[in-house]
Amino acid sequence: MDRIIAHYLIETPYNLSEAAAVLAGEQSSGTFVAVPGETKELKERFAARVENIEELEKVDRPSIPGDTHKSEFKRAKVSVSWSVENFQDNIPTLISTLQGNLYELRQFTGLKLDDFELPSWYTEKFRGPAFGAKGTKNLAGVKQELPMIGTIIKPSIGMAPEETSKLVRELIEAGIDFIKDDELMASSANSPFKNRVELVMKEINSFQQKSGKKVMYAFNISGDLETLKRNYDTVLENKGTSAMLSINSLGWAGVKAIADKGELSIHGHRNGWGMMNRHPLLGINFPAYAKLWRLAGVDQLHVNGIRNKFWESDESVIRSIKSCSSKFLDHEDLLPVVSSGQWGGQAFDTYKFTNTTDLLYMAGGGIMAHPSGPSGGVKALKQAWEGAVNGSTLVETAKEHKEFRQSVEKFGGK
């Protein structure tokens, strides 16, 4: 019988094999005493199985509260498997199994889901991203040799639709490929959703008629399910191509229901992610997280950026970008959304460490606050990426191109 395998990082004051057995027990038949009905046959068929334990370092302080009255805490990678019979194609129940009550176990002073693997027949049950990385770039008429260049409407919240659409026109004319609402902005008192979509899409559609290029705008359709459906339809009716969802607050079931429609490229915003990832030994790592959203049908997923303004290390960002194109079932690759403090200077290292242009490369201030205005900002980003892909250095590219040179002068200290 096919099995699903999950890989965890753990920390425990106990013997590693005992601790792993507790984890497996909790996630298949846990109660504090043996109960009638728990037969050997049932256990063999449905119990979780510890597949592997790889010992790592020992530390003298526990990472999170638990059984902390010891002087030594062992870290390890642990792999656990379950029969697919336990969940079949029910992903919320799979999630409850992979990342459920096990976080409550006092036997662990650290526990993080790192990755998991599904049997290939899940491909028949889940389409995955309807567009994926390449399809999303195609939708926006972006060449595959370069990343899709994007920006965020700022200030995050407060502008009226007329102001937003004016800014959109400016950005379109500057040569942008992609624009998005901020996650704090769905429908505010002075920017009703429908009104904003109509005015923004008027600009985008009119530019398309002139130039043939259809800029992608990810409208933040987040809300309750009725709102999500209504907003999705509003975007479609106005010939939009993308919808943004705050995936953590909406949840897997809501996101899947919307992504299933399959007509808009789904921009997955991971705001709130830090609460389940920032601690090195609690929560979930990006490879596992990305697979769950790929199953739901998300096309574009935030990954932060190199030398970002947030806390995340470059190493972690690079791992996230790579995992967007790791083979998973027969699903399309995710398009990693690179953002936070980006201005083009990071293009060189981003390309060096990931070797891909399947990226949505986003800059906010890096475009809007460029000395030559948004048009200079977009040009600078494209110059940076062309340079990076062609093997030029930052210095060489700055010498060659005025707009990128201005970026280096303004943002280069960051």
Question: Which 283-302 positions form the footprint of a second copy (CB under 8 A)?
Answer: 283-284
Decide whether 139 or 174 has the Cβ nearer to a second copy. 174
Q: Are 360 and 300 in contact (CB under 8 A)?
A: yes
CA distance 347 to 334: 19
CA distance 410 to 365: 11
- Judged by CB under 8 A, the stretch of 6-14, 129-137, 308-316, 386-394 that binds a second copy is 308-316
Q: How many residues bind a second copy (CB under 8 A)?
A: 103
* Smallest distance, a second copy to C-beta of residue 390, A: 28
Decide whether 224 or 237 has the Cβ nearer to a second copy. 224
Decide whether 340 or 357 has the Cβ nearer to a second copy. 340
**Binding status of residue 329 toward a second copy by CB under 8 A:** no
**Binding status of residue 85 toward a second copy by CB under 8 A:** yes
Decide whether 53 or 64 has the Cβ nearer to a second copy. 64
* Smallest distance, a second copy to C-beta of residue 212, A: 29
* Smallest distance, a second copy to C-beta of residue 132, A: 20
Contact set for a second copy, span 136-195 (CB under 8 A) = 152, 154-159, 163, 167, 183-190
Interaction mask 382-401, a second copy, x per CB under 8 A: --------------------
* Smallest distance, a second copy to C-beta of residue 226, A: 8
* Smallest distance, a second copy to C-beta of residue 82, A: 9
Q: What are phi and psi of 362, to 5 degrees?
A: -105, 135
Decide whether 142 or 360 has the Cβ nearer to a second copy. 360
Decide whether 142 or 301 has the Cβ nearer to a second copy. 301
Contact set for a second copy, span 5-24 (CB under 8 A) = none
**Binding status of residue 206 toward a second copy by CB under 8 A:** no
Q: Are 167 and 153 in contact (CB under 8 A)?
A: yes
Q: In terms of DSSP bridges, do strands 3-12 and 110-117 run parallel, antiparallel, or are they unpaired?
A: antiparallel
* Smallest distance, a second copy to C-beta of residue 389, A: 25
* Smallest distance, a second copy to C-beta of residue 340, A: 8
CA distance 161 to 193: 9
Nearest to 347 by CA among 398, 286, 300: 398
Contact set for a second copy, span 258-277 (CB under 8 A) = 269, 271-276
Contacts of 89 (CB under 8 A, 6+ apart): 122, 125, 126
**Binding status of residue 224 toward a second copy by CB under 8 A:** yes
Decide whether 39 or 71 has the Cβ nearer to a second copy. 39
CA distance 300 to 133: 7
**Binding status of residue 33 toward a second copy by CB under 8 A:** yes
Q: Which two tokens stand for residue 405?
A: 């040179």
CA distance 135 to 25: 42
The sign of the torsion formed by the CA atoms of 271, 272, 277, 278 equals positive
Task: Return the bridge partners of 9, or none.
Answer: 77, 112
Q: Which of 2, 15, 18, 46 binds a second copy (CB under 8 A)?
A: 46
**Binding status of residue 129 toward a second copy by CB under 8 A:** no
CA distance 112 to 122: 24
**Binding status of residue 36 toward a second copy by CB under 8 A:** yes
Decide whether 133 or 408 has the Cβ nearer to a second copy. 408
**Binding status of residue 372 toward a second copy by CB under 8 A:** no
Interaction mask 92-121, a second copy, x per CB under 8 A: xx-xxx-xxxxxxxx---------------
Nearest to 360 by CA among 221, 213, 178: 178
Q: Are 149 and 361 in contact (CB under 8 A)?
A: yes
Say which amino acid occupies 280.
P
- Judged by CB under 8 A, the stretch of 32-40, 129-137, 232-240, 378-386 that binds a second copy is 32-40
Annotate 368-402 with b (16+ C-beta within 10 A) or e (fewer). Answer: bbbeeebbbbbbbbbbbbbbbbeebebeebbeebe
Residue 211 DSSP SS3: helix
Q: Which helix (H) or strand (E) holds 152?
A: strand 148-152
